[in-house]
Every structure is written in C-alpha cells, then in structure tokens.
C-alpha cells in the first residue's frame, strides 16, 4: 500500500491509498484494491448520471457504444463548437482503453439534462427494424419555465448521427430512471404526469415498434393518483423488470420513506382498465404483490433482483436451499455526512415475496478514507442493473459517491463482503462541493461516483456527478477470481 500526500502535481497511480489532512482535501489521486483503471472519457466535463452500454452493429462492424445520461447544466461541445445544454453523451468503448467520444445529443424543447438512457437493437425488438438500434431517453428533468419535458426515441444505428423517431409522452413535470425490455418492447417510464400527487410515477408503453409507440397505462402506488386523499406514498425512483419471472421490482424514495414494491408484470400490462389514463384505486392495487415499507430514514433508489440463488448452507433443508433476493440501495443526498442517517446497501430476502425480509446490511465505514472530511456526498447511491452472467449472483457493484465504486461479494447474501474498490483521481474538471458552516460557505473538490453499469465483456463503467467523466474499470486479483469470465 502506497501513501502519498495530496498534490496537484503528484503522478497518477492506479494502486494508491491517499492519507491527507482536512485542509489538504483539495485533490486526491486514484485509490484501488482488486480493480484497475482501463480507460477514461471526460464526457465534456458534464455532470453524469446513468451509463448504458450496448453492443450493436455500426457500418457492418460490431461495436460497443456507451450512452450516458446527464444532469442539468451547460458546457462546450468541442465537436460542434457550441455551448450546449446537457443531454446524452455517446461514446464508442469498443476499445475500452481508448474510448472515442462520438456525439453529444443536447436536451431539446427548452429542457436541460437527460438523465436516463436505454438502448435496444431492432433485431431484439418484436417490431424493430433489423440492423437498427434505438435510444430511449428521458428528455429533461424537473420542468423548467417554458420547457417541454418528455420521453424520446432516437434511431442510433449510426450513433454519431442520432435521428429522432418519436416522442412518447410530453408536457411532463419530471422524468427519471426508465426501464426498457428489449425482448418484448415494454417500457416503464418514470414520468411526472400533471395532476398526479407525485412528480414521479410510472407510464407503461409498448415500444416494440419504436416508430409507433403505444400507450398502455398510467400506474402508481395507490394514493398517488389525482383523486386520492390522505397520505401520499413517496414518489417512484425506478423499476427493474425480470420478464421470465413475471415480476417488476420498483424502488421508491431516495433517502427517506422508502418503499420496495413487487409487481405482477402480467397483471400490470394486460389488465383491462376502465380508463388507462386514470386507473381506479382497485386497479392500482391489483398488480401489487407486496410493498416493503422501509423506515422513515431510508430510501430505495435501486432495487436489483437477484433471483434463484442456490445456497449450499441450506442444501439439506426441506425448503430454502434456493432463495430470491433484492439488493436495495439508498441514496445519500447531503455533503460531508450531514444526513440524519447514512444511506447504505441492504439484502432483502423475497423468497416469500408477500413478506419481504431484510437480512443483511453492507456499509463502507467513513473512517477507512476520512470520507466525511473529503467533501461532497458520502454513502450509497446506485448499483449496476445489467444481469450479465459474468457477475450475476456473485458480485454487486455499488457507487458510494466520494468513496468511489465498491465491489461486493454476495455469494453468501446474509454476509455481503467487500472484495474491491476504485476511487478515481480528481481532475481539473472536478467541480467543488459546498456546505454552509457557521454562516460561511465551505467548498471542497471531491469525486462523486454517481452511477455505474457493467457490460457483457465484464467491464465496469462509472460516471461522476462532479464532472470528472466516465471511468472504465476491470477486476483484478481475488475479485476477478469470483467472477465468471469466459475462457
């Protein structure tokens, strides 16, 4: 283990643990264990949210393309020479050591930011054009004055030249973390439909033919609909569907009043409704199998299903040798550990899905890296969502803001254990994070690893909320031995 004083001129090292005083947390070098940095894209210094990595055919060649959603902001696009409102970055990562920035797709219609991107190939979609690829994105976030927030589909067969195909839903108050089933075309859009009692609920669309989107229904937890009374359940953050299991797992809330909802997929999308735009209370309750209501101080940013785990510990038990779990990740929102309750990762046993049961907690102790003093947020945010066999049922990757990416061994889901981590170095693009102390603003430069995804080759893509870009990682050592990389 190497120790190095914080310095703007210190050499970039891959395997470093940096120990610095409170006053010195202006910059830091990379720190890692069992993880190596493969490549990096600066993403034009835009604050980044979720990356989506897709293998697609471009001009007759197989390419791997990253589509990265961005928070609001405005930056120079060197490719166009124009100042552009943040939208979607499109990066060729076929050679992960040398990613190539292809295009910035600016947010449109007076909006700013496009946090979520999902991509399906035409060969996968039941009604798609063979050889084509399609980008579904959330256009805009919370409604700006005069803006038109919507969901859009682009043809990205040539990822450097996206072409708008259709607008699914517009006039919204907010958008966020969509999910798109490529094998069926069904999409679950996180939308702010006017008059609903929450700014984020679910709109279900059939996008099997991206040029002809078909609205199926509006959906939310009972109490969120326009004519409801009483307490309003916390807004949706995002859903993950498992078609083969006929289940959808939805996380509600960020750092408070969290709810994990388990939904019967068939009942959700095939129900005969009186009015799909305005479902009744009974129609909202019908597809809900159960709701795990978390304590007031916990959220449910991401609900990652890990189904059908065979546990050798219980192989002699009459029942229980095979179990289902959901990895629930909360989101920390405040800088420098000033939240009421630190947000973490939880393993929830859903084998009896009517009675979900939390069974384990994973945390990164702040003292391991003086994380409460570094600046910015510290605590959990999001896990990967691609169920690639390389990592599925073995490893979960979780972003921890200024503590970077943590690699968690879940083979024993009752005892999740860290087996690696990577904290990127700050750069000239890393934006300050500030809090008020005794009436004065105090700012520090800190990495804010925000979201991540994995691809089917086994690379990990981590985006930074503070503008440091996207880091492409690979496992080494003990962590790599756990995974199931192809020979």
CATH, domain 36-252+259-293, list 3.40.50.300, 1.20.1250.20, 2.130.10.10, 2.40.128.20: 2.130.10.10
pLDDT of residue 357: 97
* Cα 466 → chain centroid: 16
What's the CA gap between 125 and 190, in Å, rounded?
Answer: 21
Residue 7 predicted with pLDDT over 70: no
Query: What whole-number distance in Å separates Cα of residue 56 and Cα of residue 64?
Result: 6
Looking at residue 310, its pLDDT comes to 96
At 133 the pLDDT is: 98
Q: Look at residue 28 in the predicted model and tell me its pLDDT.
A: 81
Helix (H), strand (E) at residue 442: strand 440-445
Please give the average per-residue pLDDT across 398-409, as a whole number: 98
Establish how many alpha carbons lie within 13 A of residue 54's alpha carbon, considering only the half-sphere containing its beta carbon: 26
pLDDT at 468: 98
Position 5 pLDDT exceeds 70: no
Mean pLDDT of 358-373: 96
CA 158 to chain centroid, in Å, comes to 25
Q: Is the dihedral of CA 75, 80, 86, 90 positive or negative?
A: negative
Specify the range with the lowest mean pLDDT, choosing from 143-147, 164-168, 455-459: 143-147
Q: Which residues contact 439 (CB under 8 A, 6 or more apart)?
A: none
Q: How many CB atoms lie within 10 A of CB 311?
A: 15
Judged against a pLDDT cut of 60, whether residue 10 lies above it is answered with no
User: How much is the pTM?
Assistant: 0.94
pLDDT in tens, 105-148: 999 999 999 999 999 999 999 999 999 999 999 999 887 777 89
pLDDT at res. 24: 35
> Residue 270: phi, psi to the nearest 5?
-110, 5
Determine the average pLDDT of the residues in 423-448. 95
pLDDT band of residue 270 (cuts 50, 70, 90) is: very high
Question: Which tokens go with 386?
Answer: 């691609």
Main-chain dihedrals φ then ψ at residue 312, nearest 5 degrees: -60, -30
In this prediction, residues 11-23 reach a mean pLDDT of: 33
The Cα–Cα gap between 389 and 350 comes to 21
What is the predicted pLDDT for the residue at 26?
53
Residue 483's pLDDT band (cuts 50, 70, 90): very high
Percent of the chain with pLDDT over 90: 90
Residue 487's pLDDT is: 79
> Whats the size of the chain, residue-wise?
487
Q: Where are the beta strands (DSSP E) in 253-388?
A: 259-264, 288-293, 302-310, 322-329, 345-349, 357-362
User: Collapsing DSSP states into helix, strand and coil, what is residue 463?
Assistant: strand
Whether 288 shows a pLDDT value over 80: the answer reads yes
The CATH 2.130.10.10 portion of the chain extends over 36-252+259-293
pLDDT band at 179 (very low <50, low <70, confident <90, very high): very high
């Amino acid at each position: 283990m190497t120790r190095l004083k914080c310095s703007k001129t210190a050499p970039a090292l891959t395997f470093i643990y940096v120990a610095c005083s409170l006053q010195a947390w202006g910059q830091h070098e990379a720190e890692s264990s069992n993880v190596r940095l493969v490549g990096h894209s600066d993403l034009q210094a835009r604050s980044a949210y979720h990356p989506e990595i897709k293998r697609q055919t471009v001009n007759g060649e197989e390419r791997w393309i990253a589509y990265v959603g961005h928070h609001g902001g405005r930056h120079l696009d060197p490719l166009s020479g124009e100042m552009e409102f943040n939208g979607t970055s499109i990066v060729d990562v076929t050679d992960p050591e040398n990613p190539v920035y292809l295009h910035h797709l600016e947010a449109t219609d007076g909006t700013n930011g496009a946090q979520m991107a999902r991509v399906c190939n035409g060969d996968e979609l039941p009604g798609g054009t063979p050889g084509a690829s399609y980008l579904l994105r959330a256009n805009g976030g919370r409604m700006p004055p005069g803006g038109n927030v919507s969901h859009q589909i682009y043809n990205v067969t040539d990822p450097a030249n996206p072409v708008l195909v259709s607008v699914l839903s517009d006039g919204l108050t907010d958008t966020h973390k969509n999910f798109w089933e490529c094998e069926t075309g069904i999409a679950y859009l996180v939308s702010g439909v006017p008059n609903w009692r929450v700014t984020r609920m679910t709109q279900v669309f059939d996008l099997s033919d991206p040029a002809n989107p078909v609205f199926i229904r509006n959906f939310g937890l009972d109490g969120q609909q326009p004519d409801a009374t009483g307490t309003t359940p916390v807004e949706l953050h995002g859903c993950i569907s498992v078609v083969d299991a006929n289940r959808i797992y939805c996380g509600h809330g960020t750092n408070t009043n969290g709810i994990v909802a388990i939904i019967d997929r068939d009942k959700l999308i095939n129900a005969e409704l009186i009015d799909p735009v305005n479902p009744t209370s009974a129609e909202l309750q019908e597809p809900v199998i159960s709701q795990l209501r978390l304590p007031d101080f916990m959220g449910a940013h991401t609900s990652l299903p890990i189904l059908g785990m065979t546990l050798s510990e219980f192989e002699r038990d009459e029942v229980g040798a095979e179990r289902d779990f959901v990895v629930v990740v909360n989101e920390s929102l405040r800088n420098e550990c000033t939240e009421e309750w630190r947000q973490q990762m939880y393993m929830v046993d859903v084998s009896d899905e009517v009675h979900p049961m939390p069974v384990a907690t994973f945390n990164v102790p702040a003292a391991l890296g003086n994380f409460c003093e570094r600046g910015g947020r510290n605590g959990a945010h999001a896990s990967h969502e691609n169920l690639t066999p390389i990592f599925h049922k073995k490893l979960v990757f979780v972003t921890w803001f200024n503590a970077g990416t943590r690699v968690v061994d879940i083979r024993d889901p009752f005892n999740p254990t860290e087996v690696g981590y990577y904290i990127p170095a700050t750069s000239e693009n890393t934006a300050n994070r500030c809090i008020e102390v005794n009436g004065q603003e105090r700012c520090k430069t800190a990495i804010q690893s925000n979201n991540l995804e994995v691809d089917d080759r086994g690379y990990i893509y981590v985006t930074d909320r503070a503008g440091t870009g996207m880091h492409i990682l690979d496992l080494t050592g003990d962590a790599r031995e756990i995974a199931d990389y192809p020979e």
